[in-house]
Chain A
Amino acid sequence: MPITYTSQEQVEVYRFSAPAAILIPLVALFLQAFLPLRLHFFSLFDLPLLVVIFFAVARRSQVSGLVTGSLIGLLQDSLTHQPIGIYGIANTVVGFGASSLGAKLDVENVGARFLVTLFFYAVHEVVYFTVARGLVKLTLQWSWGHEIGGALINAATAAVLFTLLDRFKQRA
């Protein structure tokens, strides 16, 4: 099984350079806004969420994870026409959860990354729908097929994307 329990001392903590920490989320946001116009199926992807999970798991710091999730979520919100905070709350929870998990488990290999993303995509969707329906009173339709398909596609993408983003990691 790829996921292994690791003691606190064995887990490596990474950090990122300032340009990488700023540009990677911005590029993810840009691609998320630009590509669905040309490739309609791309709306299934959630690149900002994948970036949140990647940073949170790599840094293994809960505060850092939730702040990253919060900021990226708020930026994602500001591109939509809906009230700002829905993606913010969902990504904050995911950032906190992913960094907590990253501190306990070794999630460096492909299989672990696939499962972690699958799980946190589901968490993200549940929190998003709860906030959107409960607080903002948006009329959203929950579709199991759509959500499962989205989770699998995003998890598969994460397995590839995280390998590419590993190049930006620096040992803390």
Chain B
Amino acid sequence: MSRYRNVTILVAILFVQVLGLAVQVKRRSGADESTRIIRLWTVSAVTPLEKALVWCQNGLGSIWNNYVYLRGVRQENRELKFEIERLRLEQVRLSDDAQQARRLQALLSFKETYIAKTVAAQVIGSSGSEQSRSVYIDKGTSAGVDKDMAVITADGLVGRVLRAYGSSAQVLLINDQSSGVGVILDKSRLQGVIKGTASGEVVLEKVMTDEQVTPGERIVTSGGDLIFPKGVTVGTVMKVTPGADLFLNIRVKPSANLSRLEEVLVITKKEDRAPAVAETNSVRAVDILTQRLPSVPDKPPAAVSQPPAPVTPAPTPKVLIALPKPRSEAGVNNSAASSAAATAMKPATGHKPAAADKPASEQPAKLAAGKPAGRVASKPVVAAPGSSAVPSKPGPSQPGTAEDKPH
């Protein structure tokens, strides 16, 4: 009997494991609970080390990026300031469109799911297996993360929370073959299901062969699966080939880089609500342009009765706005600049210029195109009370003198 002892033990252990597998496969829904303790032990043993290493890596990276590697930062800063200004002008145009859309949605009693709250998390580990495309994040139930919450990055959809532990959670990526996401094609509005393949690719399924799908078309979540909120970018169509059955074979390039995930956002709260139609204090293009113009800083009320104060340097602006190009280079839009100057004076004079009354969308197209407007440098421009706009270079009539005060 002792001759077969080792083989008997082997068979017994294999039998127990096969039995355990069979139970898990049979009770697919309850399998998670039956194996939770083993998973919890392993995750608890591995994730603290992963967290510590990620923390050290971030610390070293931060030292390098913030103190050592600063080459080209000034140039980058300049470029970013110009980019911010361009985007702010773009935002004005888009917010006008969005308001119009909200009004129309309200008319139709339309309700949409909004992302109400997110939790930022760091990716600390993977499953370590090519057959299981999942990652671990450093936030768990203690941070409000729970099962079946959507996980995104700024680029697009990443996956959903499969299991949540105390201080970590397992996220199933969209390129895993057991994953499934309800999606819609952005232009053609065709609906389908995004799934992963065994080789880690992402494919769009359930689109009939007689439909027209073009490579490059954007794919967003449809919200039909009640896990992912509607409208999150998933990826773009890469290749379309006719399938063997009634459906097309559509390969998708995910927007988020799933093989190099570092930080993600977990959507912990979604809300269904009708779009608000109340007038919002939207910023107009002229307001943005106003901030570029030279102005006089606020004076204390006591200064009126006192003798003129000595000239002092202008305070630091609260909002960083890039300086426009010189007038000779920029396509000067004098009418817009004049309107902006007039708007800046509005609170002091009580006069409301007609051009400033127009909504942002009616402003000259040059504004939306991001072309910097010129200044009206010959006229002194007075900042409205509370305005943060200040001159970058003092003009001929310096602030702080008595004749510059608005009457």
Contacts and interface: CB of A to CB of B under 8 A. Distances in A.
Interface of A: 26, 29-30, 32-34, 36-37, 40, 43, 48, 62-63, 66-67, 70, 74-76, 78-89, 92-93, 96, 131-132, 135-141, 143
Interface in B107-143: 123-132, 134-136
Contact of B39 (A34, A78, A93): A78
Contacts of A82: 131-132
Contacts of B199: 141, 143
A43 B130 contact: yes
A85 B135 contact: no
A115 to B, nearest CB: 23
Given A66-B9, A84-B38, A89-B14, A33 B21 contact: no
B46 A84 contact: no
Interface string B1-36: 000011001100110011011101100000100010
B87 interface: no
B232 to A, nearest CB: 22
B42 A136 contact: no
A63 B128 contact: no
B178 interface: yes
A52 to B, nearest CB: 14
Given A33-B126, A81-B162, A63 B134 contact: no
Contacts of B170: 81
A16 B266 CA distance: 43
16 contacts: A26-B45, A29-B128, A30-B46, A34-B53, A37-B126, A40-B260, A43-B126, A62-B10, A74-B17, A78-B41, A79-B39, A79-B132, A82-B132, A85-B21, A135-B21, A137-B25
A49 B317 CA distance: 62
A80 B123 contact: no
Contacts of A89: 14, 17-18, 21
Given A79-B42, A79-B128, A80-B127, A30 B21 contact: no
A30 B31 CA distance: 24
Interface of B: 5-6, 9-10, 13-14, 17-18, 20-22, 24-25, 31, 35, 38-39, 41-43, 45-46, 49-50, 53, 123-132, 134-136, 162-163, 170, 172, 176-178, 197-199, 259-261
Residue among A30, A32, A40 with the highest chain B CB neighbour number at 10 A: A30
A92 B9 CA distance: 11
A135 B131 contact: no
B129 A76 contact: yes
Contacts of B260: 37, 40
A92 B127 CA distance: 20
B17 A88 contact: yes
A132 B24 CA distance: 13
Given A81-B134, A81-B162, A89-B18, 15 more contacts: A32-B128, A34-B124, A34-B126, A43-B128, A43-B130, A62-B10, A63-B5, A74-B17, A79-B129, A84-B20, A89-B17, A93-B14, A96-B10, A138-B177, A139-B198
A132 B131 contact: yes
Given A29-B128, A37-B123, A75 B42 contact: yes
Contacts of B17: 70, 74, 85, 88-89, 92
Ordered nearest first, which 4 A-B pairs have the shortest CB separation?
A80-B132, A32-B128, A83-B24, A141-B198
A138 B24 CA distance: 13
